[in-house]
Structure 1
Amino acid sequence: MKTLHYLLAATSLLPLSYAMADATNYPVTLTNCGTEISVASAPERTVSVGQSATEILYSLGLADRVNGTSVWFNPVLPQFAKANEEIDRIADNDPSFEAVVNKRPDLVAVQYEWHVGPTGSVATREQFHELGIHTYIMPADCDTKDNSTGGDGTRTAAFSTESIYKGITELAHIYDVQAAGEALVADLIDREERAIDLASSLDLPQDLSAVFWFSSTDLGVSPFVAGQLGAPGYMMDKLGIRNVIESDEEWPTVGWESIARANPDVIVIAAMDRRRFPADDIEAKREFLRSDPVTSEMSAVQNNRIVEMDAHAMSATMRSIYGLESLAEALSAMTFK
């Protein structure tokens, strides 16, 4: 019953004219991240800007309609490796506007608003729309979030997986694959529930605390750590963990001395293929935690309560639910004095 309840909650975010619909009646008109879009028919050619959008499209069975991908943090989910090999990766990081347009897409599916927003690093939505190319930004990056503050934006309310389910359901409707969308949402809700149930069954300390370390511009400088309201905050809240970082920013920088004073019981570190910063390397993170005179004294380091998690799961994506699972499983193998 819980799964049905959450599925209905997710689809209630959509207009009644197409929530849980059997087939799409075009045109599809909806408001996406503050912009009204109207799609006249199911897109045949799509470029994705962001791994989250890519993997959701693949999960909906739409790999054959994806002509180019970009912005990757981790290897693609294993079940999509073969399909992904056949699709052009136009950029590991930010693609150029020209590279996207040259693929002649009907629609550009975007993970982060800062790539295709008012000051888009790739282009503005208007630039694409002027060429007759639709844009769709994943709601998880704009619902309950203010991206006008710069950087990674600031959450105005806590991230909820309902925004992930909303994005899946809307894309499924745009592409007329509603059954695939409903099945994907139901599976993710079930996985979410089971991870929460696992954590609830553990004898965890009442005051269990954690910090999520994404990366740092250099080892030793203040790291990018997860604020209260993003995807890591969601994971901690669902599993009964206190976030020692009190900021509402998505990824504030906080000094190691402050983190050490808070002395979190668990440190979650991001694993990624990206190598923009020295601390992107997971082994560099581990070595720093063990060798630095400040961090090496932390309880989590001394007791080896360090959890590796896909960087992509730490963003507001479908993989956040996989991150919830991996964190619950890691906690089940830990002991706390």
Structure 2
Amino acid sequence: MPLYRYALAALLGFAVNSAASESREATHYPLMLENCGVELSFDAAPQRTVSVGQAATEILYALGLADRVVGTSVWFTPVLPQFREVNAGIERLADNDPSFEAVVNRRPDLVAAQYEWHIGPAGSVGSREQFSELGIATYIMPADCDTKDNSTGGDGTRVAAFSIDSVYKGIGELAAIFDVQPAGTALIEDLQQREARAVEAARKLDLPQDLSALFWFSSPDEGAAPYVAGRLGAPGYMMRQLGIRNVIGSSEEWPTVDWETIARADPDIIVLARMDRRRYPMDDIAGKREFLQSDPVASQMSAVQQNHIVEMDAHAMSATMRTIFGLESLVAALESMSFDP
């Protein structure tokens, strides 16, 4: 395993242990913190929360706060199995973007969002100012704004590599906001241990030095330039952890790249996003597979010819705690593959 990965693991371990240590202290209100460039103040733990984004929802559930969630929205995949029962009893405002009115009508004192483009300066649901005028606090998961410029529009552009620390930061801050620090500590430590086990399992595989991959999220239409993972987002993190080269060099979160360019790069592995969402025709995993097999250009790529195709939970490709689960699933898939020397 390259020395830089040992160093990275050590740094991550230090950061997580520090966050876990801090999260053991009880919250002293009023709590002040900066969140994605906005100063927040909480006089008490929120009692009614609406989540806009599956990542925020599942972290709240994992912290044992389902009884404080009064509405959810923006779902890509089914909720994690351990949360099915509690999730079934909470109103789903929308599968995709809810309206501003739908959120406000639930009378929340906090709106927790996964993406700044939902709750931000030009938020598709509403701006932070609009909610603030109604006395509603907003919290955006740091993974979507730390090391990221969302002013570019769309999914934004990473200005530095995504770090899993930003996910742990979000968990720790939500735990502090709700004064459930032991739950935050336990969740961070569990994810840290899973990450370390996945990286160690990959190290034992002795993968080729220049192994390359493409992460394909979706496409606006069959044959159209696909939305693929840039080098600095969550898929880039997974690839760096495992010593895999991303064939896409863009810093955009999900740039569109034509198939001719991808075919020339000829990735060794193609990772396909699997989701329930059907916003675009190629959200469908079966459609992705059929295209790769039938398209005269894509079908000639090494990954397709050798069936080095991996299906991954779409939500794991976003900067969320599920990214750790995606890392685990990628390692499991690599264990079943063979590569020419």
TM-score range for the pair, normalised by the shorter chain length: over 0.9
2:171 matches 1:165: no
Contact 2:16 2:192 in 1 (8 A): no
Q: Tell me, what secondary structure is at the counterpart of 1:214?
A: strand
What is the match of residue 135 of structure 1?
Answer: 138
- Is 198-207 or 156-165 further displaced after alignment? 198-207
Any conservation in 2 of the 1:3–1:186 contact (CA below 8 Å)? no
Which string of whole-angstrom CA distances, capped at 9 and with x for unpartnered residues, describes residues 267-313 of structure 1?
00000000011100000000000000001111100111000001100
Counterparts of 1:122 and 1:133 in 2: how far apart (Å)? 14
Q: For residue 271 of structure 2, what is the amino acid of its counterpart?
A: V
Aligned mates of 1:53, 1:177 — CA distance in 2? 15
Map Cα deviations across residues 94-135 of structure 1 (whole Å, 9 max, x no partner).
000000000000100000000010011100001101111110
The 5 A counterparts of 1:198-237 are 198-237=201-240
Inter-partner Cα distance in structure 1 for 2:11 and 2:218: 37
Where 2:151 maps in the other structure, the secondary structure is helix
The corresponding residue for 2:4 is none
1:238 aligned partner: 241
Assess if the C-alpha contact under 8 Å between 1:11 and 1:169 holds in 2. no
Tell me the residue number matched to 1:294.
Answer: 297
Following superposition, the deviation at residue 23 of structure 1 comes to 1.1
The aligned counterpart of 1:190 is 193
Q: What CA distance in whole angstroms lies between the structure 2 residues aligned with 1:91 and 1:7?
A: 37
Other structure's SS at 1:114 match: coil
Change in 2 beyond 3 A, CA 1:234/1:3: closer
Q: Which residue of 2 aligns with 1:26?
A: 29
Consecutive unaligned residues in structure 2, runs of 5 or more: 1-7
Query: What is the letter of the counterpart of residue 182 of structure 2?
Result: A
Asked if the contact 1:11/1:166 (under 8 Å) is kept, the reply is no
Counterpart among 111, 115, 126 of residue 112 in structure 1: 115
SS at match of 1:238: helix
Counterpart residue identity of residue 205, structure 2: L
CA RMSD for the aligned pairs? 1.5
Q: Say whether residues 1:279 and 2:285 are aligned partners.
A: no
The 2-side partners of 1:4 and 1:87 are apart by 40
Residue 62 (structure 2) aligns with = 59
**Corresponding residue of 1:335:** 338
Q: 1:153 to 1:143 in 2, by over 3 A?
A: same
Q: Are positions 1:9 and 2:15 aligned together?
A: yes
How high is the TM-score relative to the length of structure 2? 0.95
Post-superposition, which runs of at least 4 consecutive aligned residues in structure 1 deviate over 3 A? 2-8, 10-14
Contact in 1 for aligned 2:23/2:184 (Cα 8 Å): no
Contact 2:29-2:43 within 8 A present in 1 as well: yes
Q: Distance in 2 between matches of 1:245 and 1:184?
A: 32
Distance (Å, rounded) in 1 between the aligned partners of 2:109 and 2:87:
19
The one-letter code sitting in structure 1 at the alignment partner of 2:184 is G
Residue 258 of structure 1 is matched in structure 2 by: 261
1:10 CA drift (Å): 3.6
SS of 2:241's equivalent in the other structure is helix
> CA offset at residue 9 of structure 1?
1.0
**Deviation sequence 1:181-240 (CA, Å, 0-9, x none):** 000000000000111111110021111000000000001010000000000000000001
Q: Please tell me whether residue 176 in structure 1 is matched to residue 185 in structure 2.
A: no
Note the alpha carbon deviations across 1:62-86, whole angstroms, 9 max, x for none. 0011000000000000000010000
- How many equivalent residue pairs? 333
TM-aligned CA distance change 1:204 to 1:293, over 3 Å: same
Amino acid at match of 1:142: C
> Could you tell me how far 1:20 is from its partner in structure 2?
3.0
Q: Could you say which residue in structure 1 is the equivalent of 2:42?
A: 39
SS of the equivalent of 1:68 reads: strand
Determine the C-alpha separation between the residues in 1 that align with 2:10 and 2:61.
Answer: 24
User: TM-score, with normalisation over the residues of structure 1?
Assistant: 0.96
